[in-house]
């Protein structure tokens, strides 16, 4: 896992798909030496809080993060509600959305796959979208695609009429 495709550190291949990212020296360094920040964090946690901080901050965090990510493409295709009549079995699942910072609004994502915003209703907490909006306000993110209010309601209305 430290070498090869799993690290996505093949800059030549990356340049074909994301040339702007591959020109950024910091991102290229981070991709090549992705283990350095993790080792620094692990050392810091060991110094500050000993073995418990190390175990919770490195291994428990990674375990929860990976399971939450995998739940998005497994649980949200079995359990939850369907707002949009997509051609798949995707569902919105609030529990997965909480663990995955909003990715659990998976039926919304399948209905609008290019939208950065997954939580479309006010009660659908989407922490990732809040972060993206903050980055936009700071001028650090541009050209962000999201579904507009009109699109959401027109699409929901169309879906309810066809069902
Ligand atoms: Zn899916």
For 54-92, the pLDDT digits (tens) are 999 999 999 999 999 999 999 999 999 999 999 999 999
Q: Give this prediction's pTM.
A: 0.72
Q: What is the DSSP letter of 114?
A: T
Cα–Cα distance between 129 and 101 in angstroms, integer? 9
What contacts 115, CB < 8 A, 6 or more positions away?
Answer: 108, 109, 145, 146, 147
Q: How far apart are the first and last CA of the chain?
A: 46
Spacing, Cα 126 to ligand 1 middle (Å):
17
Spacing, Cα 89 to ligand 1 middle (Å):
8
Q: What would the mean pLDDT of 99-127 be, rounded to a whole number?
A: 94
What is the average pLDDT value for the chain, to the nearest integer? Answer: 87
Spacing, Cα 88 to ligand 1 middle (Å):
8
Q: What would the mean pLDDT of 25-44 be, rounded to a whole number?
A: 92
pLDDT for 163 = 43
pLDDT for 12 = 79
pLDDT grade for 148, boundaries at 50, 70 and 90? low
Spacing, Cα 7 to ligand 1 middle (Å):
23
| Ion ligand 1: residue ranges with CB closer than 5 A | 90
């Amino acid at each position: 896992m430290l070498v090869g495709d799993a690290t996505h550190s093949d800059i030549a291949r990356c340049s074909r798909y994301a040339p702007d990212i591959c020109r950024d020296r910091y991102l290229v360094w981070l991709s090549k030496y992705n283990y350095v920040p993790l080792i620094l964090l692990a050392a810091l946690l060991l110094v500050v809080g000993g073995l418990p901080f190390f175990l919770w901050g490195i291994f428990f965090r990674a375990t929860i993060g990976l399971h939450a990510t995998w739940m998005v493409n497994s649980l949200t295709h079995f359990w939850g509600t369907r707002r949009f009549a997509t051609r798949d079995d995707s569902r919105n699942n609030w529990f997965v959305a909480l663990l995955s910072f909003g990715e659990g609004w998976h039926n919304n994502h399948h209905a609008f796959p290019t939208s950065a915003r997954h939580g479309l209703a006010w009660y659908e907490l989407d922490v990732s979208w809040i972060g993206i909006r903050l980055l936009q306000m700071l001028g650090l993110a541009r050209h962000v695609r999201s579904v507009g209010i009109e699109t959401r309601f027109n699409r929901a209305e169309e879906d309810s009429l066809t069902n």
